[in-house]
Amino acid sequence: MLAVRHVSKAFGATQANADVSLEIEAGEIVGLVGENGAGKSTLLSMIAGFMKPDAGEVLIDGQATQSGSAMAARNAGIGMVHQHLSLVPTFTVREQVALAGWREQTLPGLLAGDLDGDAVIEHLPLGKRQRLEIAKSMIANPKVLLLDEPTSILAPTEVEALFELLNLLRDDGTSIVIVTHKLREVMSIADRIVVMTNGRIAGSLSRVNETWPDATEGGILSLMFDLADEPDVIGGGGPPERGDRLSIGQQSPTVLALSGVGAVRTLGSQQLRDIEFELLAGRIHAIVGVDGQGQTELAETIAGYRLSAGSIQLAGQNIALHSAAERAEAGIGLLVDDRLGEAAVGSFTVAENLALKRPRDGKMERWGFFRGAAMTDHAQSTIDGWDVHPRDPEIRFDTLSGGNMQRILAARELDRTLKVLVAVNPVHGLDVRTTAFMWRQMRVLCNDGGAVLYFTSDLDEAIEHSDLLAVMFDGRVSPMMAPHQTNRRELGSMMVNGW
């Protein structure tokens, strides 16, 4: 159904894809995996016509598609769900599906009962925006469906619902390519897994009698990373050892304390309700919950982007009335999950994005103007220190892979003196290497006496990486608890039913 033949694509000196050939049969689900920057998203963009390959061709059902034409690819039967959502923020849900070609009065079945047709997209939680993106791609009944990290911001129940839909589409003959970094997740849905590295196909693995061989996961990792040469990818290069697991009542110095914090609901947002907890020095704190329960609102309230009632004490000083800039100067960093929509300016260079949010210390600006040479030197130092690829401070930010975007954004927050890092889904969509790198950087902050508060919908991740955790539901936060003093069933119930 889909044939990619000898496709190559370069961006300047960076070879994103090199002589890639791939075939997908009708009614087959193929998982496409590889570390960040391996060329997966570029390959999908060329198949879908959003980029023109330097060489090679794409065929659908034996017919070559018009190179570099998204409309021609769509007409040929290709649908794509982008990693970075391609929705019009100011449109309503109904307007967005109409733009995609939906002509019915009711919403598509994938959205029915879940979204209000009059809801404005920019006010929706990211999980619901992702659901809308998937529904939009299905309107044209594609022969080939391409999904780039579709589950990275979905709750577990939403992932199950998506996979049920993908199985139905496969049974109807739709060919599906799904890019993800969640190996066990892709193994649960894919018939075959193809591994990319350095812009090339490194190999593939298939089910045998509808089951995966025992060594499949290790084989995938071996193809993705040369583990013989880089043992630190999984082991010693991960986060530094955390301190002993905390028991209730075992205290470290308090870095941030919230008391009676509330924020009134605005259009499309969740109201915060009398939130009270403390962040302890040297600890990673997780707040886990299904998307849309107030996580973004709480993160923005702590960072000063939303007005709130109650007390917010940073190192004993009430900062509740301080501006976002004043809180940043006082030592609060914010890492949001919408990398291109909120965290950065896609059309700016890496150097320009790194200069944003910097203290006005005269090193990179003077009299209100950026100093180009100083910006470039700072960016080059950051790129080298944080292992960002490509190593070009003048490249546009929106041409980077998701993992390299996250490294830049994390560096912008952590390469200054912080007391607290507030992070929303800090590792979603990242490969094994970059995920371990991010946890290491957060643990370094804790070892230096700071604290981390991160929000996630991944319960297993919260249990594994946090020292203390709480659940957020309907704008409220449960008491903090030690991961070993609770269980997944109890936490899962709290996530969907409250407490």
Range of the domain at 302: 254-497
Q: Are residues 195 and 258 in the same domain?
A: no
Q: Are residues 485 and 395 in the same domain?
A: yes
Q: Are residues 363 and 311 in the same domain?
A: yes
> Who contacts 401 (Cβ-Cβ below 8 Å, separation ≥6)?
36, 37, 38, 41, 389
Is residue 231 one of the residues assigned to a domain?
no
Is residue 237 one of the residues assigned to a domain?
no
Q: CA-to-CA distance for 147 and 189, rounded, in angstroms?
A: 13
Is residue 229 one of the residues assigned to a domain?
no
Q: Are residues 16 and 129 in the same domain?
A: yes
Number of domains the chain contains: 2
Provide the CATH number for the domain around residue 55.
Answer: 3.40.50.300
pTM greater than 0.75 (yes/no):
no
Q: Are residues 310 and 198 in the same domain?
A: no
Q: Are residues 219 and 282 in the same domain?
A: no
Q: Are residues 161 and 19 in the same domain?
A: yes
Q: Are residues 209 and 64 in the same domain?
A: yes
Q: Are residues 261 and 210 in the same domain?
A: no
Q: Which of 84, 85, 88, 113 is nearest to 99 (CA)?
A: 88
Is residue 375 one of the residues assigned to a domain?
yes
Is residue 81 one of the residues assigned to a domain?
yes
Q: Are residues 210 and 261 in the same domain?
A: no
Q: Which of 172, 206, 224 is the endpoint of a domain?
A: 224
Is residue 236 one of the residues assigned to a domain?
no
Is residue 433 one of the residues assigned to a domain?
yes
Is residue 77 one of the residues assigned to a domain?
yes
Q: Are residues 215 and 309 in the same domain?
A: no
> Who contacts 385 (Cβ-Cβ below 8 Å, separation ≥6)?
411, 415
Q: Are residues 318 and 379 in the same domain?
A: yes
Return per-residue pLDDT of the chain as tens, 499 residues: 999 999 999 988 778 999 999 999 999 999 998 877 788 989 999 999 999 999 999 999 999 998 889 999 999 999 998 877 789 999 999 999 999 989 888 888 777 677 889 999 988 876 788 788 888 888 888 999 999 888 766 666 778 878 888 898 899 999 999 998 778 888 999 999 999 988 999 999 999 888 898 878 888 877 876 544 443 333 334 444 454 444 444 568 999 999 999 987 665 566 898 999 999 999 999 999 877 788 989 999 999 999 889 999 999 999 999 999 999 999 999 998 888 888 899 999 999 999 887 766 667 777 777 778 888 999 999 999 888 888 899 999 998 888 889 999 999 998 888 999 999 989 877 777 888 888 999 999 999 999 999 999 888 889 999 999 999 988 899 999 998 888 877 887 787 678 8
